[in-house]
Each structure stands twice: as structure tokens, then as C-alpha cells.
Structure 1
Amino acid sequence: MRNDTVKDTKTIGSVIKAVMILEELAESAEGLGLTEISKRLNYGVSATYHILNTLKLHSIIEQDKKTKKYRIGVGLFRISSMAKRQYSLVYIAQPFLDKLRVMVDETSNLMVLDGYEVAYIAQSESTKLLKMFTQLGAKAPLYCTGGGKAILAYKPVSFQDLILSKISLQRYTDNTITTIEDLRKEFRLIKKQGYAIDNEEREEGIICVASPIFDCYGEVVAAISISGPSYRIKEKDLSNIISSVVLTAKEISANLGYAEK
């Protein structure tokens, strides 16, 4: 029986209970009933029922109609599959991130779509004292970051429409694109040239160059980028930085099984 609930003011009790219920179900091949789960964890039947019902609503667990027992649902397998895919992506991409960082001597990043934003899942930091650093797991807008634009540009127009209908095109700097018409022009340019540039659109003084990464099905799954202080990026050979980023994105894509047409 598990009853080692963590008591911490920074945690949410119902979430802890939900996790412990999932752990119990994961260890039971035949599933568990409401009363059995409640007794094992020393939780009230009513509270246990509400947690189970919430998890079932999102397909995280499912209930056998005959036995009324609960077991792990397809929703959790889907989440697990996505997590595994992201882990594999990071594992494959990290050596290329490191190589790219050495090539241009600026911070390199790996980003994926996360809802209506882009999330940073891997990074290789520049050795310079003044450098770009983003906490792993941090999120940023899709429409004004190099990685976000690179991913969105290669998504179907219907997907772009959905995203643009859900977000507000907030102005961060004088260079931020704030109209859908201008964004669509930007997406067409990105697809034509194979890379995206965030020219101080999210933050003044920062430039980012990004290129999309594709999986074995030809779907855009991530983007790789180089970011750094604008004065330093402008002092360097921008065309060399662009070609390095694009080449690295192609190398990662090839390692994911993508065959460029």
C-alpha cells in the first residue's frame, strides 16, 4: 500500500493523489476497482471517485464496463509516446547542437511546438561571457521567434489559421510582426529560403536564425536555431551562420529518417 503523500505547501494534494493512483493502476495487470484503490491509498471513496472520473474524462484511464475496474488508458500511452519521441529527438540532436555552437560560437537551441507556443527542449551554450541563455522547458511566442516561425511556416495553412485565430499578435519591439497578412508573407518567404530570422522581433538586441527539422514522415517536428546579441551577429558573416543552421537542421532531419525530395 502506498501512503507516502508528500506534504509541501508548493504541491497540490489532488495532483499527488492522481499520480499515486496512476502508479497503482500501472502495477495492476487486471485493473483495480474504486473501493480497492481507496483502501490501498487510504483515500476517501468520494475523493478517489472524482479523481478517477477526471482521469477517465481525458482518457488517461479507462473503466471496464463489466467489472467496473479501472486500468491505464490510451491517453496515457499517447502522452508516453510523445515524451519518448521528444527524448529521442533531444538524444539525436544534442551532438549537432554542440557542433553548431562551436561552428558559429553562439548559443544553439532546439525547439518544439507546445500548444500555441514554442518550447525549448535542448541547448548548447556559447562560451562567451555575454550570451543567450533560455531555461529548458521555457516557452516563447510562435510568431516572433525564429524557431516558432520556422515550425509554423511548414505547417498546413489550416493549422496556421487555427493558431493565428487563438493567439494575440502582441508587439514586443518595433520589429515585431503584428498583422496576419504580414505573417503569411513571412511564412512564404521562410518556405522559399528554408530558414527564419528573428531580427530583434521578440527582444531588442537579440537576433535568431532558425531552420525546421523534419521526421521520417516529412512532418516538421522541431526547429534548430542560433541566437545571440545583434551587434555580434551583424559583425559576423550572416550568410555563413544561415548556411550552418540550415545544414545542421538537414543533418538532424536525416538522422530522424527524413529523405529530402
Structure 2
Amino acid sequence: MDKDKRSGLVQSIQRAFKIIEFMASGPREVTLTSITSALGMHVATVHRILATLISLGLVEQVPGSKKYRLGMKAIELGIAALSQIDLREEAAPYLRRLMESTGETANLVVLDRDEVVYIDKVQSSASLGMFVKIGKRAPIYCTGVGKVLTSEMPEDEVKAILLKSGMERLTQNTICSVSDFLEELKKTRERGYALDNEECEPGARCVAAPLRDHTGRIIAAISVSGPSVRFTDARLPELIRQTIEVAAEISRRMGYRGKEISGVNDPKAKLHKLAQVSGE
């Protein structure tokens, strides 16, 4: 008796799912031959499963050709699944893991008009830590999460937010120039994360990374925050790596299937980028 039969799994459903998964991850339209070659299934088996999937609306044959593509029912199911995802619920275990692996407070933040709002957190147990209240609001221009959340917004929209909120100097490191902030957003887009280098509160630093939905749009940000005495230049590359990796995992939970952020697994690249930031 094979393993699938012993475990009670239905092999035909497994095969059907593999075909759907292949169609979702490959070219928009596929042929019978490409499916059989990629999955190692017999032509007759694939043809029979495709006929069933077509009858259910999960797959459709392209009119006037021998190619197949996902049907409207598959799209409907995907949209239904995405609509049932709750950001806070999905992010919660990852925030806790980020806090436990770094020992620093982990935050979940969204943009609300011209401010960022902290909608969830896992507090660090360190004796000297950053306390962030859920529901707290902060400006975009002096927070790592603010930089991340506005990094891909049209420039005129960013300028409108800054015009409305102003750019009050909160510390000696606060960015108070629109042009300097726009340059900071450019760097954030390029490296895939943002830093708050004592720009909002003296003695506090933060690393932030974006969360994306199934369309690739930035819908939220996560961050780790803590005192500068622990967020040393020597430690920042590891905090950056952990934050980016957790953000990527949450994004996958939210349906994102885009490319990984460059530089995540390249310590030299991270150190070079960090050196650039520290020297500015």
C-alpha cells in the first residue's frame, strides 16, 4: 500500500491541485504537454483531470487553441480566500517570533491619512526597552515605518502629506527638508527597509520593512524598536536581516508572490548599505 493510501489522502485531488498550482505559477496559458512534462504525469491522467477542472470552472481551454488557463472560479476562490485574511491575526505569531529572536519590541503599523498608526505590538521583556502603545500615532517623516509606508507613494501625495503635517524638528537627527525626505524614500525603495536613527525620539532607533498584499502593494509595515545602546551599528545588519525576512513571510501569508528583496542574504551588501546610511 503506498504512502498516500495509508495516510488517507486522495491521490486524484493531489494531482488536480498540482496542476492548478503549476498553472498559477507558470505562464498565463499552458499546454497539455507542458503540464505532463513539468509534473511527470501521464497524458491521459492530465487530460482527464483537466476535463474535470473545466467542468467545475476552475480551468478553461483557450478558444481556438490547445492551451489552458485558470478559470473564473479559481479567481473567485482566490479573492474569497484573500478577503478572509485578517492582517493582525496573520501577523501576530510572526511579530512574537521577531521579538523573541531579537529581544526587541516588534510593531505592526499602518498608514492613516497623514500619520502612521501602531495597530499591534509584542513588547520586549528587556529592562531597558521601548514602550509603544497600540493606537499610537506618529508622523511619517521621522519614523522608519513612515518611510516604508510612503516609499512607493506618488511624490505629489507625499509632498501633500508633509505640507499638511509639517516637519517639526523632534531631535537633532530629524529630517526637516522635503527634498531630503524624498531622497530617503528613494533609498528605502532601493534597499527594501528603512531606519529611524534617533529621528523621532532621542536615544531610540528602529528598523522597518514593508508588508505587501497579493497585488504587491504595501499595506503595512513591521518594525523592531529599541534603545540606541542596543541598536549599535555592529548589530544593525542582523536586525535588518531578521526584520526583512519576517516581513517577507507575513507578505506571503497575505498573498504576495513577488520577488525577494535584494541584499537580504548578502551580509556585505547590508553592511555597505548600512555604512552609507550611517555616514549620511
TM range (shorter): 0.5 to 0.7
Residues 148-201 of structure 1: CA deviation (Å, up to 9, x unaligned): 111111223232132123220000000000000100110000111000000000
1:134-153 equivalence runs, <5 A: 134-153=132-151
Q: 1:197 to 1:216 in 2, by over 3 A?
A: same
Residues 94-143 of structure 1: CA deviation (Å, up to 9, x unaligned): 10000000111100000000121000001011111111111111101111
What is residue 23 of structure 1 aligned with on the other side?
A: none
Q: Which residues of structure 1 form unaligned runs of 5+?
A: 1-84
Aligned partners of 2:85 and 2:254 also within 8 Å: no
What is residue 111 of structure 1 aligned with on the other side?
A: 109
Deviation at 1:235, TM superposition (A): 7.1
Deviation at 1:88, TM superposition (A): 0.9
C-alpha separation in 1, matches of 2:95 and 2:154: 27
Q: Which residues of structure 2 form unaligned runs of 5+?
A: 1-82, 260-280
C-alpha separation in 1, matches of 2:123 and 2:117: 17
What is residue 203 of structure 2 aligned with on the other side?
A: 205
What is residue 124 of structure 2 aligned with on the other side?
A: 126
C-alpha separation in 1, matches of 2:231 and 2:201: 14
Equivalent of residue 182 in structure 2, options 181, 184, 190: 184
User: Structure 1: which amino acid aligns with 2:216?
Assistant: G
Aligned partners of 1:104 and 1:241 also within 8 Å: yes
Equivalent of residue 239 in structure 1, options 237, 240, 244: 237
User: Structure 2: which amino acid aligns with 1:192?
Assistant: E
Equivalent of residue 194 in structure 1, options 185, 192, 195: 192
1:88-107 equivalence runs, <5 A: 88-107=86-105
What is residue 43 of structure 1 aligned with on the other side?
A: none
C-alpha separation in 2, matches of 1:214 and 1:162: 23
TM-score, structure 1 as length reference: 0.65
Q: 1:86 to 1:233 in 2, by over 3 A?
A: farther
**Count of residues in Structure 1 that have an aligned counterpart in Structure 2:** 178
Aligned partners of 1:209 and 1:242 also within 8 Å: yes
Residues 59-103 of structure 1: CA deviation (Å, up to 9, x unaligned): xxxxxxxxxxxxxxxxxxxxxxxxxx8981100001000000011
C-alpha separation in 2, matches of 1:87 and 1:159: 28
Residues 3-35 of structure 1: CA deviation (Å, up to 9, x unaligned): xxxxxxxxxxxxxxxxxxxxxxxxxxxxxxxxx
C-alpha separation in 2, matches of 1:246 and 1:96: 12
Aligned partners of 1:155 and 1:220 also within 8 Å: no
1:32-181 equivalence runs, <5 A: 88-181=86-179
What is residue 64 of structure 1 aligned with on the other side?
A: none
C-alpha separation in 2, matches of 1:198 and 1:221: 19
TM-score, structure 2 as length reference: 0.61
SS of residue matched to 2:230 = helix
Over the residues paired in the alignment, what is the CA RMSD in angstroms? Answer: 1.8
Q: 1:87 to 1:144 in 2, by over 3 A?
A: farther
